[in-house]
Amino acid sequence: MKIIDGKKLALNIKEEVKKKITENYIKKNKQVPCLACIMVEGNSASEVYVASKQKACEFCGMESRIIRLPNDVTEKELFKTIDKLNNDKNVSGILLQLPLPKHLDDVKATNRISPAKDVDCLTNENLGALFSARPIIAPCTATGIIKILKSENIEISGKRAVVVGRSLLVGKSVANLLEQENATVTICHSRTLNLEEITKQADILVVAIGKKEYITDKHIKDGAVVIDVGINRTEEGLKGDVDFKNACNKCSYITPVPGGVGPLTVACLMENTLILHENK
């Protein structure tokens, strides 16, 4: 059984991005890519994520802008902020940190971002391109998961993949990329009956539900590859959606939490920002 080192893989990706930025932009005195993160205050997890994105930008030699808006910001003010960044020629990618407070509509606000700057590929236009297998970029977490599998030379084609969770951000996107890699994919969600009967058929099991240690060895086929996307904050620190120790008895590969998928998401965000900048 192998524990996949997401931090190491993420560092390789960020170093590659840094190298390209140094060679193609800094040394040539050209405008470096710029990632703008809009954060509506009030979500402590978002604060942590935005700080780690800013750190990654610094590492890669990218410009980062953080736009903090008050928790009671109106839709009109939020849209004005997004429009300003859409029209700013120095901004390569825009990330709207989700979830937004309840009075704002996540989907409507995301779709205000110009598709050319939609760095997490969540606008309707970019999702359409993703689902018709013509994306310039794909959502960061889903991209990171495919990179994890490929870095370990795990065969995807022809394999049975089960994704637990159907959010656009993670579940649906990763299911789509796995299908594009020729896996046979099943998506499960909170209304799925007999979940363990389905998950037990998976050669590759991806879990993104946001429920601490919900998936245990009874859900896992012997020798399966288990990708744990969940991030659950507990008094003992961050925990995944998979009961790690217990799952280790069954799987051939597993991603830990922390140190698995999370660092890849940030690294792929850097890569996506660079791609959008190159496409400007």
- Of residues 69, 202, 229, 268, which one binds ligand NDP by CB under 6 A? 229
Distance separating alpha carbons of residues 186 and 122, to the nearest angstrom: 21
Catalytic residue among 14, 18, 117, 120: 120
Catalytic residue among 18, 53, 147, 239: 53
The CB density around residue 216, as the number of other CB atoms within 10 Å, is 15
Distance separating alpha carbons of residues 179 and 146, to the nearest angstrom: 11
Q: Is 45 exposed, middle or buried (0-12, 13-18, 19+ CB in 10 A)?
A: exposed
Print the binding letters for residues 239-268 with ligand NDP: x by CB under 6 A, - otherwise: ----------------------xx--x---
Known active-site residue 120 = yes
Q: In the range 136-155, which residues lie near ligand NDP by CB under 6 A? A: 141
Phi, psi of 75 (to 5 degrees): -60, -40
For residue 208, how many C-alpha atoms fall within 13 Å in the half-sphere facing its CB? 23
- Of residues 93, 115, 135, 171, which one binds ligand NDP by CB under 6 A? 171
Distance separating alpha carbons of residues 274 and 79, to the nearest angstrom: 24
Distance separating alpha carbons of residues 209 and 130, to the nearest angstrom: 22
Q: Does residue number 210 form part of the binding site for ligand NDP (CB under 6 A)?
A: yes
- Of residues 21, 36, 73, 164, which one binds ligand NDP by CB under 6 A? 164
Q: Which is nearer to ligand NDP, 86 or 272 (CB)?
A: 272
- Of residues 230, 239, 269, 272, which one binds ligand NDP by CB under 6 A? 230
Contact positions vs ligand NDP (CB under 6 A):
141, 164-167, 169-171, 188-192, 195, 208-211, 214, 229-232, 261-262, 265
